[in-house]
Structure 1
């Protein structure tokens, strides 16, 4: 059981001064709001956890790399203090709590020990024996010898010390393993840098019924998870190694897909949407990741950069690839603002550029300044349907439970797109049994888990299936065994024989798939589905509008 650092630990007047300056700098930047977190940062001697670094570097507002692999890539680090403060404030650690840190360095565990106090308990875990050994020595030197040290794979958690009120993950995670959820106290929370469609957000996960809900999401970057939870992105390189397109899902499968694309003229499309030069636009990035098929992130090697491409940022710029072409988010910068647009290359460049620019306009019209998406985490075995309401997300429900309302159920079973389904009348859906009812009318809402023997479906939003076990019909008699469903409102079902019989989960989604839904996307990972659902835009009321000037008069 950890206690706060003994008062007689002497870490030198220079270190004390630099630590105070670090905390004051974080306050001035607005990176610390909780006085308890500020007090913890003021007490823990950060330099003792980076003994090979000069004091000034230890207290700079930067990440400290503590370990690299054979290729020079960082595999261990002490996060920047503003990131640690952000995650600790997200976690809301209280005195007396039992906490787990996955991904050790020692320093963050010491901060957590300060927050839980004498009556709490902190366990820190890492897969690397060298990291655990160094963390143990640093914690002892800094006055925190009672922090529990566990050598193991973060995928398995630390069951011998569970349950935990808080689990804080300090490595970039692509998935949420069952052990983290199983070892969580009933009213506990997980804080984890979760990668969704290539974008990493520090999210707070809390239980809601039989799934987890994201309560907070903040931009961050972390060294990737190692061990069983590791998940590498696919990288498509262009012009040698100058330009890279990183795919988290929807890997095109052909490393030569874009050969010659950069030899074609550049197409441009501009949105008319502007933003202040210092304003963040992380919600726009998440919107594009949700709605663009073939989404990826474009990066440019700074040592090889010839200026051929001009992305909105050169580290991780939203992009998309399709039909031998690719497009990326671009900006035309003025004195105080910039306009969003798109650059594209390849035979289909003009279409991709306009598609990306149009989605910027949609974000500006429907979601800019809004609450952002609702993100929910569901077990891989869950059968998902969709509740009603403009902020509806997803929930698990048995076959046969009716659900009504606009766009109920994100997707039907094999061979049916997300704007179709069973039931009668527009905007109605129901999870069917072995023989689901027929549906008529345009845009009838769908569901995720349909029966293996659907009755004929009709309506212009049905789409068609073209897999090896699908009949190719535009409307009636959609296939019972589909592989893919093209079309503007269609999703896809994976596998050549999806839906093997009554009671089985039909519409198998392979790991790494990212199914487009009417108002979001369903991403399937190894252990969980991640559902990203944007609020349905509401139409303005008919009647006179009262226009106000910028100051609200």
Structure 2
């Protein structure tokens, strides 16, 4: 079947009252324009409403992507940061809304950065800047941002990301570790709106490598392990923290 027809059917389904995943006309129009199959690689998978794994990263189900984009409320001309570029699909939809040169994306996985760059270039969104860096630190060289979208979960929004929000800006991300809630936050870190329960992978920080067999610690766990270890030590030993303990 023609991918354009599949794309229309996908968006029509997301707008259906039963799913209630897509309410914003700007997002619907952009999702109708941006092809998913170049990012996913298989038409049958691209337009099915389910998540899929590519090179160790999760490509969001269309309904999940739609909820994120709806919550972000991006507008034409907005400066946008995507934390967790993945295969680049979300950044492409945002580029369709805000303008290619206004969208920036980061990912801690260098391989995914290359993948996102290639996919964006091949679909006409090569102007999106994708860089390899610790997403919890944002992209200060290009801030402040009107909108920041974080496609990974944390117990609280990273301070650096809040600092890079423009006045009146909004940050959208899953908040929580076990039970997560898709949350809209203001530059002060206050929850403006709690959207729905979600299940995302934890936000990785510098030094954590995706794809390792063992589970990566979250930033909160690193801090708690360090504090516990420090409390067990005395004297000069308190200066030394065994970060590998308990991995």
**Shorter-chain TM-score category?**
0.7 to 0.9
Is the CA contact (8 Å cut-off) linking 2:157 and 2:189 kept in structure 1?
no
Is the CA contact (8 Å cut-off) linking 2:185 and 2:191 kept in structure 1?
yes
Is the CA contact (8 Å cut-off) linking 2:136 and 2:203 kept in structure 1?
no
Is the CA contact (8 Å cut-off) linking 2:205 and 2:219 kept in structure 1?
no
Cα-to-partner distance string for 1:385-422 (whole Å, 9 max, x where unaligned): xxxxxxxxxxxxxxxxxxxxxxxxxxxxxxxxxxxxxx
Give the aligned partner of residue 99 of structure 2: 117
Is the CA contact (8 Å cut-off) linking 2:92 and 2:120 kept in structure 1?
yes
- Following TM superposition, by how much is the alpha carbon of 1:224 offset from its aligned partner in structure 2, in angstroms? 1.9
Give the aligned partner of residue 55 of structure 1: 43
Q: Distance in 1 between matches of 2:220 and 2:163?
A: 27
Cα-to-partner distance string for 1:66-117 (whole Å, 9 max, x where unaligned): 133xxxxxxx111111111111111111110000000012000001101103
Match of 1:200 among 162, 180, 188: 180
Q: Secondary structure of the equivalent of 1:212?
A: coil
Matches within 5 A, 1:529-544: none
Cα-to-partner distance string for 1:344-403 (whole Å, 9 max, x where unaligned): xxxxxxxxxxxxxxxxxxxxxxxxxxxxxxxxxxxxxxxxxxxxxxxxxxxxxxxxxxxx
More strand by share: 1
Give the aligned partner of residue 25 of structure 1: 13
Give the aligned partner of residue 90 of structure 2: 108
- Following TM superposition, by how much is the alpha carbon of 1:232 offset from its aligned partner in structure 2, in angstroms? 8.0
Q: Distance in 1 between matches of 2:49 and 2:4?
A: 16
Q: Distance in 2 between matches of 1:78 and 1:225?
A: 15
- Following TM superposition, by how much is the alpha carbon of 1:44 offset from its aligned partner in structure 2, in angstroms? 0.7
Alpha-carbon RMSD: 2.2
Give the aligned partner of residue 231 of structure 1: 218
**Count of paired positions:** 211
Give the aligned partner of residue 216 of structure 1: 193
Q: Secondary structure of the equivalent of 2:2?
A: helix
Larger radius of gyration: 1
Is the CA contact (8 Å cut-off) linking 1:18 and 1:56 kept in structure 2?
no
The verdict on how the C-alpha distance between 1:135 and 1:190 changes in structure 2, with shifts beyond 3 A counting, is same
Q: Distance in 1 between matches of 2:14 and 2:62?
A: 8
Q: Secondary structure of the equivalent of 2:104?
A: strand
Greater relative contact order: 1 or 2 (C-alpha under 8 angstroms, separation 6 or more)? Answer: 2
The verdict on how the C-alpha distance between 1:38 and 1:203 changes in structure 2, with shifts beyond 3 A counting, is same
Q: Secondary structure of the equivalent of 1:227?
A: coil
Cα-to-partner distance string for 1:299-339 (whole Å, 9 max, x where unaligned): xxxxxxxxxxxxxxxxxxxxxxxxxxxxxxxxxxxxxxxxx
Match of 2:29 among 30, 39, 50: 39
Q: Distance in 2 between matches of 1:183 and 1:58?
A: 33
TM-score (norm 2): 0.79
Matches within 5 A, 1:87-486: 87-105=68-86, 106-117=88-99, 121-195=102-176, 198-207=178-187, 211-217=188-194, 218-228=196-206, 230-231=217-218
Q: Distance in 2 between matches of 1:212 and 1:140?
A: 34
Q: Distance in 2 between matches of 1:188 and 1:147?
A: 20
* Structure 1: 5+ residue stretches without partners: 1-12, 69-75, 235-248, 254-494, 496-553
Give the aligned partner of residue 346 of structure 1: none
Q: Distance in 2 between matches of 1:44 and 1:214?
A: 30
Cα-to-partner distance string for 1:230-264 (whole Å, 9 max, x where unaligned): 51899xxxxxxxxxxxxxx9xxx9xxxxxxxxxxx
Matches within 5 A, 1:76-95: 76-95=57-76
